[in-house]
Amino acid sequence: MQLTGMRYGRQLLELVEFPVARVLTEDASHEEISNLLKNPAGKLVVKPVFLGGVGKKGKAGLIKIVDNVYDAHTAKKELFFAIHHQGSHTVQANGVTFEEFISSDVEIYVNISISTTHRTPVMILTTEGGVDIEDLPADKQREIFFNPATGVKSFHINDALISLGCPSQYISPLVQHLPKLWDLYNNYGLTVLELNPIRMGKINGRYVPIACDIKASFDQDNPSYKRLGFPEEIFSTDFTQFEAEINMLRTYQGQSDVVEINPKGSILPFMFGGGANSAATEVLGERAIISSDFGGNPPYAKMKSIADITFKHWLKQSRVIMVIGGKANNTDIFVTLRAIFDSLKEHIQLNPDVQVIVGRGGPNVIKGMVYARDILDSLKVPYRFFGHDSSMIGVLNYTIELDQWLESQKKGKKVS
């Protein structure tokens, strides 16, 4: 399992208080980007976000350096779904980051892994960062072997930097911060930790090593990585077309997280909240086409777009549409139901025989169900609604039973 880039790499490094470049994601506002441009260099680095371990983005021309907000948005448009080829492997980006540009006359490369030759941890260090380590001659890099019980020490790094001819003003800051990387490596189940480059910026008049890119590999058999709390999807490398279209909507308020479970499924669930997501995904099993979480009080326009994309891809094969969630605290149920059923009205010609189950509670739930009822009645679509006092598991089991019955009707036999 691997991750690259500063979207999650920043969170990883902040665990050990290693300095990182300031980072904004694709949902950053015009004002936030403008403020980030007020760094000493007056520039930003715009990078596509690839899930999993994806390198050589710079050589592929997928990194843009900009000095104004207009160019930043243009770069975002170009890179958001960028295609990257690595040998025979092709991956698609899903988002961008805007990163502070750090001016520096030296770039540091550091890598911690386990030496298969010496059976001990090794830190590879060079002051010729920003390039592939394989391209550097042996005399431009140093291998530091150390005891895992004691970790990498300041004197290890000091001696290596002096032998590499590192400018003296940078040695002390690097000696202070680089040992933190072993703590990160050792405590969170990593097998490889690579920072390339680290640039030397100034904070309050003092030089500080600032991480500008990262690659990390994790041992999936070591449960320590789970303490990070990262979503499993960041270790994935591929999105389906449906997932990519939905995830584009992360640029707006509310959640829009989806995973395609079974493209041959028959129940199309709109799930709201983590509890609904977990319960529905487990109970529905392979009958569910997708797993989703559309909570966070999405506005009408976003929820309508989500429903449009979902119905476009999956309505034709669905026997049951299910809207499920617990009793919401802040999500306006009327807004979400209005958006979903306005979209269904526009797409019903794809599958006039579909049936609907709704299990919801929260603000404006009655108003929302009345609105949904009127649309479904006009479309002559069968439905059943469950309120906040209904068991979520009961609603899910009812949905499965309905789907099984519809399946039996299609096959012309009864389910025992």
Tell me the CB-side half-sphere exposure of residue 197, using CA atoms within 13 A. Answer: 19
Quick one: 403 and 270 in the same domain? yes
Quick one: 311 and 400 in the same domain? yes
Q: Nearest 5°: phi and psi at 323?
A: -115, 115
Residue 227 resides in a domain: no
CA distance 83 to 62: 9
Residue 233 resides in a domain: no
* pLDDT at position 158 over 50: yes
Quick one: 289 and 390 in the same domain? yes
Confidence of residue 415 (pLDDT cuts 50, 70, 90): very low
Give the mean model confidence (pLDDT) for residues 157-172: 94
Quick one: 111 and 96 in the same domain? no
The three-class DSSP label of residue 360 is: strand
Token couple for 133: 């380590």
CA distance 372 to 27: 31
In the chain, the percentage of residues whose pLDDT exceeds 90 is 56
Residue 302 resides in a domain: yes
Closest C-alpha among 111, 125, 132, 116 to residue 192: 111
User: Which structural domain range is residue 303 located in?
Assistant: 240-411
What is the tens place of the pLDDT at every residue in 167-186?
A: 999 999 999 999 999 999 99
Token couple for 294: 């559309």
Q: What is the CATH number of the domain that holds 37?
A: 3.30.1490.20
Tokens 């279209």 locate to: 245
Give the mean model confidence (pLDDT) for residues 319-346: 92
Rounded to a whole number, what is the distance in angstroms from the first to the last CA of the chain? 44
CA distance 39 to 178: 24
What is the tens place of the pLDDT at every residue in 54-83?
A: 667 777 788 999 999 999 999 999 999 888
Residue 55 resides in a domain: yes
pTM of the model: 0.56
* pLDDT at position 336 over 80: yes
Quick one: 85 and 115 in the same domain? no
Q: Pairing mode, if any, of strands 120-126 and 141-145?
A: antiparallel
Give Cα separations from 194 to 79, 216, 255, 303 (angstroms): 24, 6, 31, 39
**Which run of H or E residues covers position 100?**
strand 96-100
Token couple for 382: 């069968």
CB 112 within 8 A of CB 122: yes
Confidence of residue 221 (pLDDT cuts 50, 70, 90): low
Quick one: 358 and 253 in the same domain? yes
Using the 3D structure, point to which of 55, 81, 100 is the last residue of a domain: 100
Instruction: Please give the full DSSP string across 263-318, using - where no structure is assigned.
Output: TT-SEEEEEESHHHHHHHHHHHGGGBSEEEE--S---HHHHHHHHHHHHHHHGGG-
Cis peptide before 40 (omega within 30 of 0): no
| Identity of the residue numbered 292 | S
Q: What is the CATH number of the domain that holds 282?
A: 3.40.50.261
Q: Count of domains in the chain?
A: 3
CA 186 to centroid of chain Cα atoms = 24
Average pLDDT score over the chain: 87
Measure the CA angle with vertex 305, ends 298 and 74; round to 5°. 95
Quick one: 320 and 373 in the same domain? yes
Closest C-alpha among 2, 4, 6, 3 to residue 211: 6
Residue 416 resides in a domain: no
Quick one: 73 and 169 in the same domain? no
CA trace torsion 384, 388, 390, 393 (10° rounding): 90
Quick one: 88 and 123 in the same domain? no
Residue 10 resides in a domain: no
CB 201 within 8 A of CB 207: yes
What is the tens place of the pLDDT at every residue in 10-51?
A: 999 999 999 999 999 998 999 999 999 999 999 999 999 887
Query: Per DSSP, what are the bridge partners of residue 293?
Result: 257
Quick one: 42 and 180 in the same domain? no
* pLDDT at position 209 over 50: yes
Quick one: 277 and 369 in the same domain? yes
Closest C-alpha among 91, 106, 26 to residue 52: 91
CA distance 166 to 181: 19
Quick one: 81 and 112 in the same domain? no
What is the tens place of the pLDDT at every residue in 356-381?
A: 999 999 899 999 999 999 999 999 99
Residue 229 resides in a domain: no
Q: Strand locations in 6-78, DSSP E?
A: 23-25, 44-48, 64-66
CA distance 293 to 287: 17
